[in-house]
Structure 1
């Protein structure tokens, strides 16, 4: 006896996106309108609720809709008819304040010289042979210097390399916690980290924050209720809130994790933007903390090289996870990174990006903050958190901004757990050209102050 195969959620998402596009074109729907619940959609389509949830998640991933925790799923803007199930960039003419990668206009010329020796046939033959977890000694030593801050630096022999930072996170979540176990997140967190946890069958636990970042008492209370196996935390220029955790809080949190036996994954991807920053949690609990970082923010999204500073006792487990997932770094990327680290190119890019981030952040604070809008940010960061005034809902503001050809991210995308997400949006300042960034910020300011009643949604 054979059973019918379950419908492909991606094909269902294709058809629903086409239908929504037609309804928008005919005026039957407007950006900002709420979609039926996924349970209602499942009933109408005769599919499982889990399949319907995957369809809605796919619409959110493609940018057709936006989900707000506890409120529902809302049309974001006029969707394009999907020739393929996914797209990696905003349509032409959109000011993209969702992605947060900076590529300076002059950096291609800066980096070209370092690539020249790598294109010799003999060198390419060696570099293209196989991926690597450990890299050459020179690479480990250069990255150890790069990651060091305060009085801390990782031991070169304890470094592992992944194809990208997200793969380094995936290896941590695969190696350090079992399906069904609890993984603690800051209440607002990096969306991909939570998505990885869910994909791996882990239980995300939302933990309260304050003005200094993750609250140790929230970690202790959650652990007492049911043990936490792992903690994911962003102490520096937290994404999306921009909080940088002070040294006293880091020491307190590290001491608590040692006491309770909780392992920690410390995401340091934005640390490079701070010339001076406190030592990482790893300096205070070296046997419990894995520090994850990458070159994608420092250099460019096209250089996807991640690295993990590991406790010696965890190095083999993490290495096995990298091999199992086929997440090891590629030789050519490793060689290019090594040359750029050694010849000073990365250091010069970091210097210029610090200036660029500070300039863009100051511009945003002047345009938005001086108008009376409430912001949260680290003034050195490439992103800031805008708390919406009046009767704005986050998803409605996102839709209104999209009508002005500006893409921003609602709070619900960052919420670690179910429940109400604040009426706020994250503004990523790195990607737009400066000539487009200023008028976009002015448009967002005017939109926020005018309120939803004065916006032209529909």
Structure 2
């Protein structure tokens, strides 16, 4: 990438309103500092200490005030934005959000879409599917359901593992990823995050060790901490989790559980080759470690053998339709070893009771009549088109050079420039991207890298504007960013 050195112009900053009087109270907080800062911010917002419109301290100022790194503050503000507490305005900083709902009677749905731009900001930090023909398909299916004489079967209580037809649909959906299982080994869940929760609550106990990639999905690490699990990072390379590092971690003894994403790892986009998958499976079986295999993005990298097929008695396979179809359909699936089906069903009963039967019915119909396949193919084509825009504007290598086209791009910042500075420069230009620190597991320093989500933009025009601004921010770098 050929980008000449330049300085991003930053408009003069207005005087903060109320932020000078606020300092996060970190006393009594366990766990990561960034979560303690985000929790303190949430409490200040809820208590009226930070009313809507308050401009928060800059990342650097708050880091100095608290005696922490800028990366910790960046991660805390990213978490606050994810919770819908804050947002940014071009050239001015980070502000406490006010109410953002569509009023009843205005013709729109009541709710908040935290992924949409607010105040001119373009959010390229959230992985969500692009939207197109899904809404028309949903309207048609809802109309067909409404015309049925009896909706009782999808409006009442269901068996916690799901209705037989919905479990069969789950088996068919996972077959697309290469998992051959039977409906009696499938549990229908309320999305992949619910599947993660059920899986870990079923097999692990507080104090158990959960091994996961050194850079991992923040929702998983947050869940593990709340379940009292001890998180241990396992080193990554270009193919994801390294088998030698997993072997070394498993030698520690005690109950060992492994959470990993072999296909399009989040955030690095790494995809394991067949030999790597075999090696990982062998390590797990040798040490009797149970793996939870996350395949939520796997539809973008088909043709690989799932760990669930290489080590079926040592793997819980979890996935959902959120990325391939639409996130509002809170439907996920688990494929389990036979011995774990009943315990997982009891966990589902004790926590969620059941996945929403109406949602599961919609997805089952789509899987059965080909709608799910059609929408998935559309999503793949759309993501490819968005990657082409990124390849052009950020001068990235294409698939012929081995890059996987996924929902996000992972960029390593080299030659002395810090990822936090790139994130700040992009924010000043009205673009949110996620630093590597947001995904770091353990206390090691995160790599100087950023994750750029291509799917969150409303359309190609918004994406192009966001990436153009990001390219301008990257011109501050002494040299070009290199793709990992």
Q: Same fold (TM over 0.5)?
A: yes
Aligned partner of 1:230 in structure 2 is 257
Question: Is 2:43 aligned against 1:11?
Answer: yes
Q: Distance in 1 between matches of 2:144 and 2:113?
A: 34
Q: Distance in 2 between matches of 1:17 and 1:226?
A: 48
Q: Do the aligned partners of residues 202 and 117 (structure 1) sit closer, same or farther apart at CA in structure 2, a change above 3 Å counting?
A: same
Question: Is 2:367 aligned against 1:349?
Answer: no
Aligned partner of 2:230 in structure 1 is 203
Q: Distance in 1 between matches of 2:160 and 2:190?
A: 9
Pairwise CA distance, 1:285: 0.7
Pairwise CA distance, 1:165: 1.1
Pairwise CA distance, 1:182: 0.5
1:162 to 189, 194, 199: 189
2:165 to 125, 138, 148: 138
Q: Distance in 2 between matches of 1:137 and 1:447?
A: 52
Q: Do the aligned partners of residues 56 and 391 (structure 1) sit closer, same or farther apart at CA in structure 2, a change above 3 Å counting?
A: closer
Aligned partner of 2:86 in structure 1 is none
Q: Do the aligned partners of residues 184 and 162 (structure 1) sit closer, same or farther apart at CA in structure 2, a change above 3 Å counting?
A: same
Pairwise CA distance, 1:266: 0.2
Q: Distance in 1 between matches of 2:233 and 2:224?
A: 12
Pairwise CA distance, 1:105: 2.4
3-state SS, counterpart of residue 299 of structure 1: coil
Aligned partner of 1:188 in structure 2 is 215
Residue 243 of structure 1 contacts residue 378 of structure 1 at CA under 8 Å; is this kept in 2? no
Aligned partner of 2:431 in structure 1 is 406
Pairwise CA distance, 1:80: 2.1
Q: Do the aligned partners of residues 326 and 64 (structure 1) sit closer, same or farther apart at CA in structure 2, a change above 3 Å counting?
A: closer
Question: What is the number of equivalent residue pairs in this alignment?
Answer: 417
Q: Do the aligned partners of residues 292 and 14 (structure 1) sit closer, same or farther apart at CA in structure 2, a change above 3 Å counting?
A: same
Q: Do the aligned partners of residues 150 and 161 (structure 1) sit closer, same or farther apart at CA in structure 2, a change above 3 Å counting?
A: closer
3-state SS, counterpart of residue 79 of structure 1: strand
3-state SS, counterpart of residue 443 of structure 1: helix
Aligned partner of 1:441 in structure 2 is 467
Q: Distance in 2 between matches of 1:57 and 1:181?
A: 26
Residue 31 of structure 1 contacts residue 78 of structure 1 at CA under 8 Å; is this kept in 2? no
Aligned partner of 1:321 in structure 2 is 347
Aligned partner of 1:80 in structure 2 is 96
1:415 to 430, 440, 444: 440
Q: Which structure 2 residues correspond to residues 349-428 of structure 1 after superposition, within 5 A?
A: 349-370=375-396, 378-428=403-453
2:63 to 32, 35, 39: 35
Q: Distance in 2 between matches of 1:56 and 1:411?
A: 10
Q: Do the aligned partners of residues 210 and 299 (structure 1) sit closer, same or farther apart at CA in structure 2, a change above 3 Å counting?
A: same
Q: Distance in 1 between matches of 2:59 and 2:406?
A: 31
Aligned partner of 2:137 in structure 1 is 110
CA RMSD of aligned residues (A): 3.3
3-state SS, counterpart of residue 409 of structure 2: strand
Q: Do the aligned partners of residues 38 and 81 (structure 1) sit closer, same or farther apart at CA in structure 2, a change above 3 Å counting?
A: same
Q: Distance in 2 between matches of 1:416 and 1:377?
A: 27
1:61 to 75, 79, 89: 79
3-state SS, counterpart of residue 33 of structure 1: helix
Q: Distance in 2 between matches of 1:341 and 1:195?
A: 32
Pairwise CA distance, 1:247: 0.8
Pairwise CA distance, 1:263: 0.2
Aligned partner of 2:286 in structure 1 is 259
Pairwise CA distance, 1:449: 2.3
Question: Is 2:209 aligned against 1:153?
Answer: no
Residue 132 of structure 1 contacts residue 161 of structure 1 at CA under 8 Å; is this kept in 2? no
Residue 166 of structure 2 contacts residue 188 of structure 2 at CA under 8 Å; is this kept in 1? no
3-state SS, counterpart of residue 162 of structure 2: coil
Residue 169 of structure 1 contacts residue 193 of structure 1 at CA under 8 Å; is this kept in 2? yes
Residue 55 of structure 2 contacts residue 94 of structure 2 at CA under 8 Å; is this kept in 1? no
1:254-309 superposed Cα distances (whole Å, 9 cap, x missing partner):
111011000000000001123x3211001011111000000111111111111101
3-state SS, counterpart of residue 232 of structure 1: strand
